[in-house]
Every structure is written in C-alpha cells, then in structure tokens.
Structure 1
Amino acid sequence: MDNVRRRAWAGSLNLRVTVHPDLTLNSSNEPEHIISFRVPREIYLVLYFPYILERVAPELRTNVTDFYNGWWLEMEGVPLSWNFPAGVLFDSLTGLDPALRSSRHRHNSLNVWELTLRHEDQCPTNVIPIVRGRDQVREFWMHQWKQACFILNGASKQVMSLSKPDTMKFWDSILRRDQNSFDTIKEKILPTFDNTRYVPLRVHLALPQIRFLEPQAKVQHNNGHIRLGDVLSSEFPEWFPNDSSTPNLAKAVIQGIEVPLQLSVWYLYQELSSFDGFLHVSLCLMTEDASLTSRS
C-alpha cells in the first residue's frame, strides 16, 4: 500500500471543545467547560457527538435525550457543516498556509483546533439536521459514494451492486480505522484510468464566503493528463492566473498538505481522495509573510 495514502489515512486533528455558556449550569460562576481529544482527519465530526455529550452531560442545564438532533459545533461563531470530512473543514475554515501552521498559528491550528458546542431546537441553515442518529450519517455517506461512483463511471451500479456485508464492512472500516478493508472494497468501485469519465472533485473556499464548487475534472485531454493547476486556473483565474509570469494568490491544500499544481488530478485522486469518494481541495489564500510562488 502506498505510503502517501497511509499517511493521509493516519492524519489526525487535536480538538478542544468548549461548551457554550448558555448550555451549562451556573455559567456565570463556573470556569469554562472544556473537553480535549483527537480525531482522524478522515471522519465526520458528528460521530463524536455521543462521546462529547457523555463527557459534559453532568454540566448541562438539561438532560441529553438525543446525542445528535439539535447539536452542532462552531468555530469562531461559524457553524460547521458535519457532512464534510473533519480535515476538509479544518483546512478550509482555518485557511492557514501549511508552511506557517507550525510557527505563527501554532496554538489554534497545528496543535489545537478550538471549537464550541452549541444546541438549539433548530440547527443553523448550513447544518443538516440528524433525526435518525448514526444510521442517517451512514446513509448520507453511502449517498456520497453513489455520487462519486456516477462521476467516475457514468453510473452508480458499482456501489449499488455491493453486497450488504461489503457495504457494512466498508462503513465499519472507517469507524474501526481499518485502511486495508476500506481499500479492498474501494477497488471494486474505482474504474481504470482509461475508463474514468471524470474525477469527483470538490473545491472549498472560506473567502469571500464559505462555499464549495464541483468543477468537471477530466483525467486527460489530447492524451495528456489534466493537472490540478489547469482546473484551478479555469475556475479561479483571479487566484491562479494562466500566465507563468504572474504569481498565484492562493495555494491548494489536500489532506493538510500543500500540493504542487503540476500534479494530475487523477494521481491526486488515487493518493489523497477522502473516505467519501471525493478529492477535496481547500484553497488557502497567500498571506503577507508567505513568499508568492509562480504557477507551476
């Protein structure tokens, strides 16, 4: 198994979750209610809600009757959409240059990601309500794979034809962090290079607003591999000018790694695609203290 994929699968984030004061007993007199733990980059944060709530339940104003419905995490007042991998949320919402994370932004990025636990009867508009617990999360994840399979193959039959044991094993491999089992079933879904229609690609931005795009990314054109830089130049010419003499204004970050723009989208998909079947690219704007580099 390729070392790059192993390292991506093993990637993790350190979380520091503070319970919002409105949810706690004696909030005006008590210190902050905090829980710290580590999660894989390749997971949905919502799957950790039961763990968080069991830890903080004694400190809450009301009894916890549902570990999912009405709960969400937010960063600096911005609600997190649980339906993207944790690592993608971190990369896109922090927007930090990987080269600088270990220096200026050490406390709130590389070592600790500061989040707040919130609850209301109705979730924010960008947070999908969960009314059927973990089963709903699993079904959502399978729907992502059906979409990815259709983009890759032109049909979803490779996913739809998985046996029930394989489907459950596929999901359990994520929960148990079993990469060998995950990759074995994934190989049943992926086409060969020559039979691939498009790469399932999502590009995430936090500025000027939080959003994501799904550009059509072919694997080759005129018998040449399509590079990530080609796709980004087409979608974001103001940030990735199609001119070798003009510097880029952003970097492409995948799995917490700044990736060279000359790499093909097919290669990046093979090595760094996420557990939901998509290749997620977070755009990180250059900072004043980061040297601008020319488009590769």
Structure 2
Amino acid sequence: MDQPSLASIQRVIWEGNLPLEITLAPSESRTYDQTDPYLISYPRISYLPSLLPRLKAFFASSLIDPAASAPHDGWFSFENVPLKWHYPVGLLYDLYAGADPATKSSDAEYSSSSNDSLPWKLVVHFSDWPNEELVRLDAQGVVMSDAFINSVKEADFVRNGTAKGIMSLSKDDSSGLWKAVQEVDLPSFQRIMNILLPPPSQPFRNLPIRLFLPLPPKPDSTDSDSPSLKVVQSPIPPTITIPLSQTATNMSQSTILSSSRVVSAGTGSPQPQPQPQTIGSALHSILPNLFPSRRTPVLAKPVLHGAALPMSASVEEVVRCSAYGDGWVYIVIRMMG
C-alpha cells in the first residue's frame, strides 16, 4: 500500500468518534438516578480522564458534597466494571460494548448489535476510588502523561530494539506528542511520530501489537456478571518464511518455486524467501487454537478501531497507519457464532 493510502486511513481513524452518554453515580447524586446525563461525541483515540474537569463542572450542582472531591478523583465504570483510564476510549468500547462478550448471566444478555450499544452509557464516580484496580490520578495530570510516554517507550523498544528514539526527543516534542493526542492534532502528531518510526525502506525489528481476549467470568467471582480480560503480547517480526509444505496445495510446483523460493547458485537447492507478516499469519502463530487458518476467520475475528481487520493485511502497514497514539496496535479478539 502506498503512503498516501496509509495516510488517508490514519486520518479517518483520527476523525473517528464515539457518542457517549455519561451519568453521575446514583449514590453521589442529590436526586439519585434523576440527574441529566452528559452527552458528547468523543474521539476514539482520546482518553476518558480528559473529560473529568468538564464533568465535575457539569455535575457539581447535583453532587451531594461538591467540595469533597476534585476532578482528578473521578473514574468511570461500565456495567459496574471500572474502566482502565490508560486505555483509549475506542479500545475500551471495543472491549466492553462493541465486541460480543464471552458469557453473561442467564437473566440478561449483552446485545450483540453495536447499534444497540450506542450511545455508550458510562457512569462517572467522584468517590470510592477502586484502588485495587486503578492507579490514582493527580491534579497536574503527571500520572496520566507519564503512563502515556512509558507506553510510547515500550512501543519504540519493540519496533527498534532500543528506546533511544523516544529518549532522544526534545522536551518540547516529548510533551508535544501527548498534547497532540489530547487535542487530536494529527499534523503535529505525525511530525513527531515520523522521528520515531523507521522509514518505509527500513523494516521494524518487531511489531508493537497487543491482543485482548474477553474471558468468561470466574465461577467463584463475587461479580460473576463481569467478563475478565486476557492481554497477549509476543514478538512479531515484520516478515516470515512459509515452508513449502504450507503453501497452497493446488499450486503447481513451478509456481510455488517461483513465488516463495529462490534457487541457490551452484547447488540448485531452493531456499525460503521471506514473506510479509500478515494479520492472519501473526494470529495463527500466537493463537493457533482460535485462528487455525491464516486466511479465513473461523472461530474468532480481529477487531481494531471498531472494524474487523482483513486477515491478509500487512501487519507493518497496520502499525504505520492504524496504531493508537502511543504507537501500539490494540486488537480485540471477538468470538464468532
């Protein structure tokens, strides 16, 4: 895929929004559950804590004790599950509302239609912080900024085998990267990210991808209605070598040799030739039980930015145009059937 095509995909991703309907936790409201909700169309690449100052101001007159908390004391939940604030809102939606859940209690079932889950209904709390599940935020936003930059460093190390790129950024560019994501400023983001990304002619060492698998709730869990998550990460090289035995069986021998092997000079011995790593080959390598085929989703399908990823897509191209602001590609595994 050429660079203009990749740039247009990235632009569409950055323009993606989610309609949110945010209500105040009934236990903190003067009118219990009669408080008007806060409605907003919010960028998928953004982070929920950026909404806290305006939410605190919006709900101030409804809070039982407005002076008892500050904006950074706020946290969000969906279906009684505290939402991890260091994940982009688009990923959180794909995890908890956009993707079909693994299980649900018999008296009520999750909707399998994404249209039924919009606007995404969230609850904001300004007390009873879930310390066992979430790291506390601070008034200056340092905790959130540091978490983002640390994630950028991890992605940079995976791509290049070193984090020298992000470490060598100027202070203005380092803080500017986070600011560009906060303000959804794609030109500024691209300028700084182009310093970190190797040029197209230079392949990545590995590809920064994390897979999220919804799991059924544990039988002995106190919150048995809430599915848990498993995060899978494994080194993914940009190219692979497919053995002759795994190529298409209906291809002729001469076609196979010309497309996937070259003959060594002087020996006549065919040698493997690297092929681009695809979404299908990566998933087959990491999760072979869920993805027995490299070409066709059989048991599950990969979801990124609310859309199913083509199994034939080049993983490196996906990283270059579809990664979130921290450089990671977060793929949600949605079970089929």
Q: How many residues align?
A: 277
Which 5+ residue runs of structure 2 have no aligned equivalent?
Answer: 101-111, 217-227, 242-273
User: Where does residue 256 of structure 1 map in the other structure?
Assistant: 306
The amino acid of 2:27's aligned partner reads D
The amino acid of 2:240's aligned partner reads H
What does residue range 1-296 of structure 1 map to in structure 2 within 5 Å? 2-27=7-32, 31-64=34-67, 65-69=69-73, 71-96=74-99, 104-109=113-118, 112-192=119-199, 194-208=202-216, 209-222=228-241, 223-242=274-293, 248-287=298-337
State the alpha-carbon separation in 1 of the partners of residues 297 and 325 from structure 2.
Answer: 33
1:125 CA drift (Å): 2.5
Q: More displaced, 113-122 or 210-219?
A: 113-122
> Is the Cα–Cα contact under 8 Å of residues 22 and 122 in structure 2 kept in the other structure?
yes
Which 5+ residue runs of structure 1 have no aligned equivalent?
Answer: 98-102, 288-296
Give the SS at the match of 1:18: strand
The amino acid of 1:260's aligned partner reads P
1:18 CA drift (Å): 1.3
1:132 CA drift (Å): 4.5
Q: 1:125 to 1:248 in 2, by over 3 A?
A: farther
Give the SS at the match of 1:68: helix
Please identify runs of 4+ aligned residues in structure 1 that moved more than 6 A. none
Q: Cα RMSD (Å) of the superposition?
A: 2.2
Q: More displaced, 180-189 or 213-222?
A: 213-222
Cα distance per residue 1:136-189 (max 9 Å; x no partner): 211111111111111111111110111112222222222222101100110100
> Is the Cα–Cα contact under 8 Å of residues 50 and 67 in structure 1 kept in the other structure?
yes
The amino acid of 1:55's aligned partner reads F
Q: 1:215 to 1:14 in 2, by over 3 A?
A: same
Q: 1:182 to 1:207 in 2, by over 3 A?
A: same
> Is the Cα–Cα contact under 8 Å of residues 95 and 284 in structure 1 kept in the other structure?
no
Q: How does the TM-score come out when normalised to structure 2?
A: 0.77
State the alpha-carbon separation in 1 of the partners of residues 99 and 164 from structure 2.
Answer: 39
1:32 CA drift (Å): 3.8
User: Where does residue 251 of structure 2 map in the other structure?
Assistant: none
Q: How does the TM-score come out when normalised to structure 1?
A: 0.87
1:121 CA drift (Å): 4.0
State the alpha-carbon separation in 1 of the partners of residues 113 and 86 from structure 2.
Answer: 30
The amino acid of 1:197's aligned partner reads R
* Greater Rg over alpha carbons, structure: 2
> Is the Cα–Cα contact under 8 Å of residues 48 and 89 in structure 2 kept in the other structure?
yes
1:238 CA drift (Å): 2.7
1:210 CA drift (Å): 1.5
1:242 CA drift (Å): 3.5
Query: Percent identity among equivalent residues?
Result: 27
Q: More displaced, 129-138 or 235-244?
A: 235-244
1:248 CA drift (Å): 1.3
> Is the Cα–Cα contact under 8 Å of residues 83 and 128 in structure 1 kept in the other structure?
no
